[in-house]
A and B are shown apart, each in its own frame.
Chain A
């Protein structure tokens, strides 16, 4: 009985070593299998993991604590700019990544609290628009803080950002060791996977903790949660801060991977996409959220490859140019998934039941 409650990770390690071994092999193989189709697929995989990061962070806010946040990209931006400013010729500062990433996460945390504090008493839809506004405010400041003092270099963005480097081992270059040649994207892949596993473990542990229960309690019934002695304001702020810090880390890695940041990467559409990943996958359910992130990153890319041959196969020629159709299909997919799986593609079992009961 106790074991069930504690659901400790160690138990599952022991029971599922075979599955985990298989998983490890698959995860190891992905960048090499993907590279057969081109390094572009490795990059897509990398962005998929990066979005998974973001989606898992937003999942804490939206999925666990039930707070609708449409400005999540602001924290991503804070992390990205923190990295860019502290590891580029812009200010001539070149700090190592292991200093900047935690710093970016911390700064994003602060922004999370700054956003949360004045807005927490707002009801759902009002909170949504205020967070949306906050996201836009951050982006517009990034876009304009080149004067009077040039902080962010405005719309021109920041170039020549240092790649992640451990000693002399740079993640940007292709290198060979132990007889295996690894391209830059492949190296980032392994870094991302390692961080992603960490984030997943953090997510799971948070969910199964005293804090996680408090979040769920607030989502279920805020008044009852208060009556149980939960300081709902602080716990909600904690959700904002935790979610934001994930965004901050993702931003830093994005900066390093791209070597360039500019405000256009942090538009409202980005926030919406991340939210769509969470909802489409299955809110509050970690495997679902991961699936959502991977699908929504992968689908447009798969369509990029697939829509042209598909059209030719169906009609024998191009009727509609592939780009228009690609986004059209993407939009339709969102609508259809929500229509037939309103709780998401892979909701947690309880969500599914919730829905089944409210529907009849």
Chain B
């Protein structure tokens, strides 16, 4: 039983990270129906920037929490600028282009960002300096650390903040309106371009937060880390119903749990035929099954307004 509890904790932490990254995909997709494939790279840049700031401040004598805070802040700002630039330079000119064109642009941008990161931060794995003294707690035979607690609570906080932003603020209302009917929204006085740029900026800020979390949780960073993370998070977003905030969160958590429980139990259930070597496909199999019965994901609109 303690194993199950432990796996649930593992899955929850992983899922929280996935959910945050997935929100970045969903923010953008929800509004303009674009899969921003470069989002994983934005997360990577977020991690890298935070790393640089933290390392350069590490000897300044500031308190570790403050350093971490500054690192997070700087990385959020950098990613917001990056998100804005991506939209402005790469995607906006293609708003009326055939559907696959921005997809290829996104892939191109992701190659560019990876290689820029490689030039700046080098090819080697980078050790993310542990700023928080890791405490290990135990409950019922399962253990977790204060970093995990911080990650899950920060993720929850950010998600609550996002829900507040989208449902309670003026810009959030404009975003939802644009997502549902851009033409009418513009008639209400909403500047569509600004709203779309905002979606990119907010999504990238979330990516930066996720990047800092990944960095401080695994304490390792590499210029290629964004690809897999982005892919998983994208899967999570689709699982939940891409374009839907609650869906992205649920999809992320679910994916984290599927991976943990899948790796933990499927092997025993199938006589080790499907062991943890198939860990990476459990998510896809669940995704395919879900989509067969709910073609728009768990929380997606049944009749999508975008074909």
A contacts B directly (C-beta below 8 A): yes
Counting CB contacts under 8 A, is B269 at the interface?
Answer: no
- Whether A119 and B284, one on each chain, are in contact in the complex, defined by CB atoms closer than 8 angstroms, is no
Partner among B99, B105, B111, B281 whose Cβ is within 8 Å of the Cβ of A124? B99
- Whether B90 and A328, one on each chain, are in contact in the complex, defined by CB atoms closer than 8 angstroms, is no
Counting CB contacts under 8 A, is A136 at the interface?
Answer: yes
Counting CB contacts under 8 A, is B93 at the interface?
Answer: yes
Counting CB contacts under 8 A, is B73 at the interface?
Answer: no
Chain A residues 334-352 with CB under 8 Å of chain B are 334-335, 338-339, 342-343, 351
Q: State how many angstroms separate the Cβ of B302 from the closest Cβ of chain A.
A: 12
Bitwise interface map of A from 276 to 289 toward B, beta carbon under 8 Å scored 1, else 0: 10011001000000
Counting CB contacts under 8 A, is A295 at the interface?
Answer: no
Stretch in B140-148, B177-185, B231-239 touching the partner = B231-239
Bitwise interface map of A from 146 to 190 toward B, beta carbon under 8 Å scored 1, else 0: 001000000000000000000000000000000000000000000
Q: State how many angstroms separate the Cβ of A143 from the closest Cβ of chain B.
A: 8
Q: Which chain B positions have C-beta within 8 A of A328? A: 111-112, 115-116, 119
Chain B residues 13-40 with CB under 8 Å of chain A are 29, 33, 35
Counting CB contacts under 8 A, is A224 at the interface?
Answer: no
Q: State how many angstroms separate the Cβ of A28 from the closest Cβ of chain B.
A: 34
- Whether A331 and B234, one on each chain, are in contact in the complex, defined by CB atoms closer than 8 angstroms, is no
- Whether B101 and A342, one on each chain, are in contact in the complex, defined by CB atoms closer than 8 angstroms, is yes
- Whether A140 and B278, one on each chain, are in contact in the complex, defined by CB atoms closer than 8 angstroms, is yes
Chain B residue nearest to A331 in the complex (CB): B111
Q: Which chain A positions have C-beta within 8 A of B238? A: 125-126, 129
- Whether A122 and B291, one on each chain, are in contact in the complex, defined by CB atoms closer than 8 angstroms, is yes
- Whether B288 and A130, one on each chain, are in contact in the complex, defined by CB atoms closer than 8 angstroms, is yes
CA distance A63 to B90 in the complex (A): 23
- Whether A133 and B109, one on each chain, are in contact in the complex, defined by CB atoms closer than 8 angstroms, is no
Counting CB contacts under 8 A, is A249 at the interface?
Answer: no
- Whether A283 and B98, one on each chain, are in contact in the complex, defined by CB atoms closer than 8 angstroms, is yes
Bitwise interface map of B from 86 to 116 toward A, beta carbon under 8 Å scored 1, else 0: 0000100110111111111101111110111
Chain B residue nearest to A273 in the complex (CB): B107
Chain B residue nearest to A146 in the complex (CB): B277
- Residues of B in contact, count (CB < 8 Å): 50
- Whether A122 and B100, one on each chain, are in contact in the complex, defined by CB atoms closer than 8 angstroms, is no
- Whether A118 and B35, one on each chain, are in contact in the complex, defined by CB atoms closer than 8 angstroms, is no
- Whether B281 and A334, one on each chain, are in contact in the complex, defined by CB atoms closer than 8 angstroms, is no
Counting CB contacts under 8 A, is A272 at the interface?
Answer: yes
Counting CB contacts under 8 A, is A77 at the interface?
Answer: no
Q: Which chain B positions have C-beta within 8 A of A333? A: 108
- Whether B94 and A339, one on each chain, are in contact in the complex, defined by CB atoms closer than 8 angstroms, is yes
- Whether A272 and B105, one on each chain, are in contact in the complex, defined by CB atoms closer than 8 angstroms, is no
Decide: A279 near B296, CB < 8 A? Known: A327-B115, A339-B94, A342-B98: no
Counting CB contacts under 8 A, is B280 at the interface?
Answer: yes
CA distance A143 to B93 in the complex (A): 41
A residues sitting closer than 8 Å to B (CB atoms) are: 62, 68, 118-119, 121-126, 128-130, 132-134, 136-137, 140-141, 143-144, 148, 268, 272, 275-276, 279-280, 283, 320, 324-325, 327-328, 330-335, 338-339, 342-343, 351, 354-355, 358-359
A–B Cβ pairs within 8 angstroms, 27 of them: A125-B29, A125-B33, A126-B291, A126-B295, A129-B235, A133-B288, A134-B288, A136-B284, A137-B281, A140-B280, A144-B278, A268-B231, A272-B107, A275-B100, A280-B104, A283-B100, A320-B119, A327-B115, A328-B112, A331-B114, A332-B112, A334-B104, A334-B111, A338-B104, A338-B108, A343-B98, A358-B96
The 3 closest A-B pairs by CB, nearest first: A334-B108, A331-B111, A133-B284
B residues sitting closer than 8 Å to A (CB atoms) are: 29, 33, 35, 90, 93-94, 96-105, 107-112, 114-116, 118-119, 231, 234-235, 238, 242, 273, 277-278, 280-281, 283-285, 287-288, 291-292, 295-297, 304, 306-307
Q: Known contacts A136-B281, A339-B94; can you find 6 more A-B pairs with CB under 8 A?
A: A129-B234, A129-B235, A132-B231, A133-B287, A331-B110, A335-B109
